[in-house]
Structure 1
Amino acid sequence: MLPVLLLLIISAAAAENCTYRYGINSYSRKSLLTIKGLPTNLVYEPNSGDLLFTLIDLESLQNDDEQTRMDQYILRNGAPIKIDNVNGQAAAVDLKSGRVYIASDDGLNILNGTDRANFLSLKDEDIVQLFKPAHKDEIYLVIFPENEVYVFNVDKNEKKKIEHVPCAFILAVDSKDNIYYECDSKYVKVLLKDFHEPIEFAGIGKNTARAITVDPAGNVILAANDGLYLLRPDNLIPKKLMNLDFVPSGIAFGNSNMFLSTHGIIYEYSWCK
Structure 2
Amino acid sequence: MLPYLLLIVISSVTSELCPYVYDNQSYTRTSILTIKGLPTNLVVNPHTNDLLFTLIDLESLQNDEVQTKMDQYILRNGEPIKIDNVNGQDAAVDINYNKVYIASDDGLNVLNKTNKANFVSLKDEDIVQIYKPRNKDEIYAVIYPENEVYIINLKRNEKKKVDYVPCAYIIAVDEEDNIYYECDSKYVKVLLKDFQEPIEFVGIAKNTARAITVDSNNRVILATNDGLYQLRPDSVIPKKLMQLDFIPAGIAFNEDDLYISTNSIIYKYSQTECE
Give the Cα separation in 1 of the matches to 2:13 and 2:129.
Answer: 40
Counterpart of 1:159 in structure 2 is 159
Counterpart of 2:257 in structure 1 is 257
SS at match of 2:236: strand
> Which AA in structure 1 matches 2:124?
D
Give the Cα separation in 1 of the matches to 2:60 and 2:13.
Answer: 42
Counterpart of 1:240 in structure 2 is 240
Counterpart of 1:200 in structure 2 is 200
Counterpart of 1:217 in structure 2 is 217
Counterpart of 2:45 in structure 1 is 45
Counterpart of 1:178 in structure 2 is 178
Q: Unaligned regions of 5+ residues in structure 2, if any?
A: 1-7
> Which AA in structure 1 matches 2:151?
V
Shift of 1:15: 3.1
Give the Cα separation in 2 of the matches to 1:9 and 1:194.
Answer: 54
Shift of 1:97: 0.2
SS at match of 2:155: coil
- Residue by residue, what CA displacement relative to the aligned partner does 1:210-243 show, whole Å, maximum 9, x if unpaired? 0000000000000000000000000100000000
**After the TM superposition, which segments of 4 or more aligned residues of structure 1 sit over 4 Å from their partners?**
8-14
TM-score (norm 1): 0.95
> Which AA in structure 2 matches 1:21?
V
Q: Unaligned regions of 5+ residues in structure 1, if any?
A: 1-7
> Which AA in structure 2 matches 1:208?
T
Counterpart of 2:18 in structure 1 is 18
Give the Cα separation in 1 of the matches to 2:19 and 2:231.
Answer: 24
Give the Cα separation in 1 of the matches to 2:89 and 2:230.
Answer: 26
Q: Which stretch of structure 1 is more off in the superposition, 209-218 or 9-18? A: 9-18
* 2:88 equivalent to 1:88: yes
> Which AA in structure 1 matches 2:176?
K
Number of matched pairs: 266
Shift of 1:14: 4.2
TM-score (norm 2): 0.95
Counterpart of 1:168 in structure 2 is 168
SS at match of 2:119: strand
Give the Cα separation in 2 of the matches to 1:171 and 1:102.
Answer: 16
What does 1:39-188 correspond to in 2, within 5 Å? Answer: 39-188=39-188
Give the Cα separation in 1 of the matches to 2:119 and 2:201.
Answer: 37
Shift of 1:115: 0.5
> Which AA in structure 2 matches 1:150?
Y
* 2:241 equivalent to 1:267: no
- Residue by residue, what CA displacement relative to the aligned partner does 1:230-266 show, whole Å, maximum 9, x if unpaired? 0000010000000000000000000110000000000
- Residue by residue, what CA displacement relative to the aligned partner does 1:68-88 show, whole Å, maximum 9, x if unpaired? 000000000111000000000
Shift of 1:12: 5.2
- Residue by residue, what CA displacement relative to the aligned partner does 1:124-168 show, whole Å, maximum 9, x if unpaired? 000000100001110000000000000000110100000100000
SS at match of 1:211: strand
The CA RMSD measured in Å over matched residues stands at 1.2
> Which AA in structure 1 matches 2:90?
A
